[in-house]
A and B are shown apart, each in its own frame.
Chain A
Amino acid sequence: MSFSSSRSSPQAAQAAPAAIDVTNLSHSFGNRWAVRNANFTVQTGSLHGFVGPNGAGKTTSLKAICTLLAPHSGTVRVFGQDVVLHSKSVRRTIGFMPDHFSMYRRMTVYEYLDFFGAAYGLTTAQRDRVIKDVLALTDMESRRDDLISGLSRGMQQRVSLARVLVSDPDLLLLDEPASGLDPRARIELMEILRELQLMGKTIFISSHILSELAELCDSVTIIDVGRIKYSGSMQALLQKNAEHPTYILGVQGQWPDLAERLQAVPGIVSAERVEGRPEYRIAFDWSVLDTSGLLRAVLDLGVTVVSFAEERRHLNEAFMDLTEGGLR
C-alpha cells in the first residue's frame, strides 16, 4: 500500500495541529439557523463520529469543513489552515464523500479514478500505482473496467471511497457512508475505515448507525438543532452521568441474600438483582476499590461467578438523552 502514513504515530499526532478545529461556527438559511456557535475539535489520526438527528446541521457543518460552504460566522481550520482563506490547499488535504452518489455513470471504474487522479495532478505512473492500491483496498480490482452505471449500490459506495482515497488525503470526510448498504457491505466498509485509520488517516464520519459508530469511533460529536450537545471521547460519553463504574455480575445458582452481602463490602456503593435474570448490577467507588478488588471480594463471598462485565450505556441512550425529539 502506497498511502502516506506520516501522521500515524502518537507523537506526531501530539505535535500536529488538530485535524479539524471548528470555532463558533454559525450558518443560516434565510431566518433558520442550520448551525449556531458550534465548537468542536477532531484530533489528528482519530476516527471521529458526527451524530445528530435529521436536520440537526450535520451536512451544513460538513460542507463548511470541506470548503463548499463559506460560513456566515466563525472559523473552521483543517490542519491549522482556515478553510475560507486557504481553500485550495485545504482541498488537497481532504477527501469528501457526500451523502448521495456522485458518479459519472458513463465512465468505467478505472476511468473515474483516473480522472480524479489526474485532476489532483498525479502523473500517469503515480495514478497507475495509486489506483491499483485503492482498488485492492476496496476490493474492486475485478470490476475496474465495468461501467459505474452497472454497479450495485454497495459497489458504487466502494468506488466513491476509492475516489476519495486516490488523492491520498490526510482527512476523510464521510457523510452517511453506510446509508443504504446491506449488512455485509456495511461491515466491510467499517473494516476498510479501521484499516485506513491504522494507515494514519483522520476520519470524520457522519452517520445514523449508532451501534457501528460506537464500536468504530474513538471520539464523537453530537449535534442537535444546530448546536453541539457533546464533543469528546466515546469512552467518556458512554460513561457520562454514571458517577460510579457499574459492572454486571452473572452467578450460578440461587443466592437469596447476595445483594445485601455485596452492599456490605467496603467500596461497593450499590448492588441490586437484575429483574428476572441470575445477574447483579454492582456500582462501586474507584477510590476505594478497583475492578480486580471487586472481583476478588465477590469470589471471597463464595459465589460461583459465570460472567463479569462492565455495564456501559449504549450510544443510542446517550444520543436520546442529549437530543430533543420531534420534528424541527
Chain B
Amino acid sequence: MFTGSFALLHRALRLDARLLQTHLFRVSFAVLIYFSLVWAHVTSLSFGAPGLKLFESLTYLNLGLITLAGISFFATAISEEKEEETLGLLKMAGINPIGILLGKSTSRLVGAILLLMVQFPFTLLAITLGGVTLGQVLAAYCSLTAYMVLLANVGLLSSVVQRRGSSASAVTVIVLILYFSAGLLLGGIRLGLTNSGAVAAGSGVDRKLQSLAELGSDASVLTRLMAIMATGFSESVFGFQAASNVAAAVVCFLLAWAGFNSFTRDWRATSALSPHRAWPWPRSRGARRRPQRHPLVWKEFQFITGGFPAIWVKLVAYGLMTLSILWAADRYYAYSLDRAALFVVFAMLGLMVVESSLYVSRIFHDEWRERTLPLLMMLPIATPRMVYSKVAGCLPALLPALLWLLVGCAILPDGVEQIGKALILPSRWFYALVIGLFLTLTGFFSLVVRWGALPLALAVMLTGSAFGGCCFSPMLSFLMSVGDQAVGVEGAFLCVDIVVALLIAGLQFDIHRRLEIVAAQ
C-alpha cells in the first residue's frame, strides 16, 4: 500500500533538494534566526531577559512561516498534480488514494518539521541566556508542530477539493481566518445576543456559547503561545490546543481520503463537472459585450474579475455587509454610528486589498499557465501598455468596495477631512504605496514561481517591513529632532515614500523584462 507513497516521497525530496528556491528559503530562514539573535541582544540592553526575547521572536517567526507555508506549500500538494495533469498518471500507476495523499503531504511535512528541529539548539541557547524554561520551549514546539500538522492537512483537504492551487490557497486562508477568530467570533455573537436580550445572561445557551468561545480560543495556537510565553508557565507540554489541532488534522486527512476519488475525477471526462459550466452566470457569446478599443482591458474585466455580473453581485453583497455592520453595531453592541462606520471603512479597505491582490496574482500567471503569453507578446502593442491595460481591466471590479468605502467615509464626521489628508499627506501616501509595492511584488512573483506568489509576496513584505522598520525608526527620530515634529514626520515619510516608489518602479521594469523571458520560453 505504501510503495507508491515512498516513491512519491522520494521523488519530492529529490526534487526539493535540486530546487534553488528550497535552499534560498533555508538560507533566508537561517538569516532570520540570526536576526532574531541580534534583536534579542539589542532589546536585552534595555529590557532584560534576552533568552525570553530570543525565544519569543523565534516562536512568532515560526508561527508566521508555518502559516505562509500552509497557504502556499501545503495547499498545493494535490492541486499541482491536477494542474499539471499528472494525477491521472499516478492513479494509473496503481497508487491508491491514501498512497498519493501520504506521499504528497508527508514530504512537505517532513521538510517543514526538519526546519523546526534544526532550530532547537538555538532555543536551548535561549534557556542559557535566561528568562525561559525547558518546559516552555518544549510546550511551544509541541504546539507549533500540532499547528503545522493541522495546516498541512487543511491544505491537503483544500487541494483535494479544489482544482487549482490558487483556489486551494484561498480556501485555506478562509479556514485559517475562522481558526484564529473562532473564539472572538463566538464571543462576539454571545455578547450581541445577550446585549440585545435575545439570550438571557447566565442562561444555559449563554453558558454554552461562552464555553464554546473559550474552546475556540483555547484551540488557537496564538492563545496557547501567549500562555506559554507568560512568566510562571507550568502547564503540561501537550495541551488542549495540540490535542485538538492533531484531532482536527486527522479529520481533515480522513475527509481528503474519503473525497479523493470524487474530487479528483478529470473534469473533462464529464461535462457536468466542468468548472466552466459551473460558472454561475451565462457564458454564451451574446451574454458578454464585445471587445472594442481596449481588448486587453475587456479580457481582464470579463475573465479575471467576472465582468458586470460579478460587479452587481459584489455591490449587493458588500452593501448587505455594510448594512449588517451598521445594524449589528447599533442593535447588539450599542456602538456609535461613527465607530460602526469606521468598521465599514476598514472592512472595505481590507476587501479592496484582498480583491486586488487576487487579481494581480492571476493576470500574468494565468497567461503563463495557459501558455498564451507568446501570443500576447506578439501583438503589435508595447509591453508596458499591455501590462497597464491588464491592470486597468481589473480596476472596475474594485468599484463596489470603493463605493461602500465612500459611504463609510460619508458617515464618519471627519470622513471627508480624512480623505483630503490621504491626498496631501506623505504619511498617508505611505500606506497606499506599501499596498502598491505588495501588489507589484505579487505580480512579479507570479511570473517567477509556479505556485504561491501571493504568500511569497506577503512573506517578503513582512520581512521587509521588519527590516524597514529598524531602518526607518532612527531616521524618523532624527528628522523629528531637527525641527517641527509634524513636519519632521511628514518629511521622513516623504523620504520613505520615495524609496518605496522607486522600488515599485524597479519591480515594474523587471516585470516587463520577465514577461519577455517567459514569453520566449
Contact = CB atoms under 8 A, between A and B. Distances in A.
Interface of A: 63, 66-69, 88-89, 91-92, 94, 96, 98, 100-108, 110-111, 114-116, 118-121, 124, 144-145, 147, 149-150, 163
A115 B290 CA distance: 8
Contacts of A118: 290-293, 295, 298
Contact of A110 (B268, B276, B285, B378): B285
A150 B271 contact: yes
- Top 3 nearest A-B pairs by Cβ distance? A118-B295, A118-B291, A69-B520
A169 to B, nearest CB: 10
A114 B370 CA distance: 18
B420 interface: no
Contact of A103 (B292, B293, B299, B372): B372
Contacts of A114: 290-291
B378 A66 contact: yes
Contact of B284 (A68, A96, A106, A145): A145
B381 interface: yes
Nearest to B296: A119
Most chain A beta-carbon neighbours within 10 Å: one of B279, B285, B292, B519: B285
Nearest to A164: B375
B303 interface: yes
B286 to A, nearest CB: 9
B490 to A, nearest CB: 44
A280 to B, nearest CB: 53
A100 B276 CA distance: 21
B371 A102 contact: yes
B520 to A, nearest CB: 5
A29 to B, nearest CB: 10
Contact of B372 (A67, A94, A102, A124): A102
Contacts of A98: 371, 374-375
Contact of B285 (A104, A105, A145): A145
A32 to B, nearest CB: 15
A92 to B, nearest CB: 5
B368 to A, nearest CB: 11
Contacts of A88: 380, 382
Contacts of A100: 371
Contact of A124 (B271, B274, B290, B380): B290
Interface of B: 268, 271, 274, 276, 279, 283-285, 288, 290-293, 295-296, 298-299, 303, 370-372, 374-375, 377-382, 516, 519-520
A132 to B, nearest CB: 14
Nearest to B290: A114
B371 A115 contact: no
A149 B276 contact: yes
Nearest to B274: A149
Nearest to B292: A118
Contacts of B516: 68
B302 to A, nearest CB: 8
Contact of B299 (A104, A105, A124, A163): A104
24 contacts: A63-B374, A68-B374, A68-B377, A68-B516, A68-B520, A69-B520, A88-B382, A91-B379, A96-B374, A98-B374, A101-B371, A102-B370, A102-B372, A103-B370, A104-B303, A111-B285, A115-B291, A116-B295, A118-B293, A119-B291, A119-B295, A120-B380, A149-B276, A150-B274
A102 B283 contact: no
A63 B417 CA distance: 55
Contacts of B370: 102-105
A79 B159 CA distance: 50
A303 B378 CA distance: 62
Contacts of B377: 68
A92 B378 CA distance: 9
A120 B378 CA distance: 10
B303 A108 contact: no
B349 to A, nearest CB: 30
Contacts of A110: 285
Contacts of B292: 118, 124
A235 B288 CA distance: 51
Contacts of B295: 115-116, 118-119
Of listed A67, A68, A100, A150, residue having the most chain B CB within 10 A: A68
A108 B372 contact: no
Given A100-B371, A101-B371, A124-B290, A108 B284 contact: yes
Given A102-B375, A111-B288, A124-B290, 13 more contacts: A63-B374, A68-B519, A69-B520, A88-B380, A91-B378, A96-B375, A102-B372, A104-B372, A106-B276, A115-B298, A116-B295, A119-B379, A149-B274
Given A103-B370, A115-B298, A118-B292, A108 B378 contact: no
A116 B374 CA distance: 13
A108 B284 CA distance: 8
B380 A92 contact: yes
Contacts of B276: 105-106, 147, 149-150
Interface centre among A63, A115, A145 (most CB of B within 10 A): A115
B517 to A, nearest CB: 10
A118 B284 CA distance: 19
Contacts of B296: 119
A63 B520 contact: yes
A124 B519 CA distance: 28
B391 to A, nearest CB: 17
A123 to B, nearest CB: 9
Nearest to A89: B380
Contacts of A121: 380
A96 B298 CA distance: 23
B227 to A, nearest CB: 49
B367 to A, nearest CB: 9
Contacts of B374: 63, 68, 96, 98, 102
B263 to A, nearest CB: 19
B371 A120 contact: no
A67 B371 contact: no
Nearest to B284: A145
